[in-house]
Amino acid sequence: MSTFTTSSQLRCGDRFLDLREPQVMAIINVTPDSFSDGGKYHAGSALLDKILAQVDLACAEGASLIDVGGESTRPGAARVSELEECQRVLPVVEAIAQRFDVIISVDTSNAAVMRESAILGAGLINDVRALQQPTAMQEAAASGLPVCLMHMQGEPQSMQDNPVYRDIGGEVERFLRQRIAACAAAGVGAERIVLDPGFGFAKTLAHNLELFRRLPDMVAWGCPVLVGVSRKSMIGALTGRAVGERLAGSVAMAAMAVERGAHIIRVHDVKETVDAVRVAQALKLENIAND
């Protein structure tokens, strides 16, 4: 099975992301129904300056990417119209780009949001549907931006009803390699690809744990790997904690993801995760030096 060679830097528009050490991506959900912080930064309940204050804090705490999302992808979430998602996301992308020296990631499957966000200064497309929506592949290719391809079985509305796999690792690998090939055919080269195994998306706890154990296999392909487990139900299942009480579990998994080779950690709690990532990376490098 062919592999790719990860560059030390990922070009994200007019900025570069250093892949020689793990980076932290801060989550900014401008939605009324996100599982963890729904409504916190939704345009109907918070002003833009509140969002920008959170971005400022995330950058100060060490985030190198800001992930802006206008459609909830929690289990059972309803789809959002193209117009509504544009109205939620684009003003935020524009304001962040004008005020902060940070890479903006746009969490979207919507082709129009991809196109307009790239024009406004976004540096990464983060698509849970791996560019399978109408014209999404074409817009992603035209943008020139890197793309994060995530594995998900089905759609958020029903993805957790009864996810079944014969071989979770093998099926996720086949799907992502097929999407990499589709990207290459559309003009999106391997140097623009980031991979996300999709923890919590159409997967049981056992599926998530098996994927996490096999994370080094995906890292070995050579593409940068993004891990998003912050506050997710898998941590709740392991700890018995409610969403707002999952910080310790989230930080622990972030550190273990770094130990297993992940390049980008997507989180709600930036400061605590940055500390954990730095410690995990230092220990990882020490182990390598001693081998």
Q: Which residues are catalytic?
A: 232, 266
Give the number of other Cβ atoms within 10 Å of residue 250's Cβ.
23
In DSSP notation, 102-113 reads SEEEEE---HHH
Cα pseudo-dihedral 42, 48, 49, 51, rounded to 10: 40
From residue 167, alpha-carbon distances to 3, 174, 217, 239 in Å are: 21, 11, 14, 26
Q: Which amino acid belongs to residue 287?
A: N
Name the DSSP letter for residue 225: B
User: Quick one: 12 exposed, middle or buried, by C-beta within 10 A (0-12, 13-18, 19+)?
Assistant: buried
Please name the residue that has the structure tokens 């550190």.
Answer: 255
Q: Rounded to whole angstroms, how far apart are CA atoms 27 and 35?
A: 12
C-alpha span between 92 and 113 (Å, rounded)? 12
Q: What is the DSSP letter of 65?
A: E
Strand partners, 15: 12
